[in-house]
C-alpha cells in the first residue's frame, strides 16, 4: 500500500461472521483485537454490514474487512456487492471515536490496491451523502472523481464517485 503523508497505515483483516458476533457483544473476544470506546458502529449498521459480508461470502467474494490500527478495530470497509460488469461499489465507515485520524483514507487506499490486483475489476464506484464532506474528501484523496448525483430514498441526494483502476488502451487502426 502506498504511504500517504500524515496518514496512518491501517491493516485490513478479512471480516468473518465471528467478528460481527464479537462486535455485537455476542462473543467475548476476538483474536487479540480490541474495540474502540463506543464500539465500531451502531448495532443496526453492524447488522447491515454483516448481511453484506454474508452475501459477498456466498458469492465467493472475500471483500469485506475490519480496518485495524495498532490492534484496535477502528472501522469496516467492503465491496457493497460482488463485482459485476468490471465494476464494484465500495463502502467504508470509521468508528465515531476514531474519525478524523486518516483511517478511512488509508483503508480506501488499501481497497484500491486490492481491487487493482483483480483483473476482473476496471472501475471502483462509491456514493456519499451531499452533507458527508469527510467521506467526499477521502474519495478525492484516493483519486475518485464525481460522476453525478441521484436521490436515494434513505439518504436524500447522494453524489456518485468513480475511479478507473487500469488505463484503457485505445486500439488505433493502422492506415
170: pLDDT strictly greater than 60: no
Arithmetic mean of pLDDT, 139-155: 94
What percentage of the chain exceeds 70 in pLDDT? 89
Arithmetic mean of pLDDT, 56-76: 94
104: pLDDT strictly greater than 50: yes
Give a three-class secondary structure readout of 41-55. CCHHHHHHHHHHHHH
pTM over 0.95: no
3: pLDDT strictly greater than 90: no
Edge-first strand listing for the sheet containing 156-164:
11-14, 64-69, 72-79, 87-94, 123-129, 156-164, 145-152
Structural domains for the chain: 11-120 (3.40.630.30)
And the C-alpha cell for 81?
456487492
Rounded distance between C-alpha atoms, residue 155 and residue 131, angstroms: 10
Amino acid at each position: 500500500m502506498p504511504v500517504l503523508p500524515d496518514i496512518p497505515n491501517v491493516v485490513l483483516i478479512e471480516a468473518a461472521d465471528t467478528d460481527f458476533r464479537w462486535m455485537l457483544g455476542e462473543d467475548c473476544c476476538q483474536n487479540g483485537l480490541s474495540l474502540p470506546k463506543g464500539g465500531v458502529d451502531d448495532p443496526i449498521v453492524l447488522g447491515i454490514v454483516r448481511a453484506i459480508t454474508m452475501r459477498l461470502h456466498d458469492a465467493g467474494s472475500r471483500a469485506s474487512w475490519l480496518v485495524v490500527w495498532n490492534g484496535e478495530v477502528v472501522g469496516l470497509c467492503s465491496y457493497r456487492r460482488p463485482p459485476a460488469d468490471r465494476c464494484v461499489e465500495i463502502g467504508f465507515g470509521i468508528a465515531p471515536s476514531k474519525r478524523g485520524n486518516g483511517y478511512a483514507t488509508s483503508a480506501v487506499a488499501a481497497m484500491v490496491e486490492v481491487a487493482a490486483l483483480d483483473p476482473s475489476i476496471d472501475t471502483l464506484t462509491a456514493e456519499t451523502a451531499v452533507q458527508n464532506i469527510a467521506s467526499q474528501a477521502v474519495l478525492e484523496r484516493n483519486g475518485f472523481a464525481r460522476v453525478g448525483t441521484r436521490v436515494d430514498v434513505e439518504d436524500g441526494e447522494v453524489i456518485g464517485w468513480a475511479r478507473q483502476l487500469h488505463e484503457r488502451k485505445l486500439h488505433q487502426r493502422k492506415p
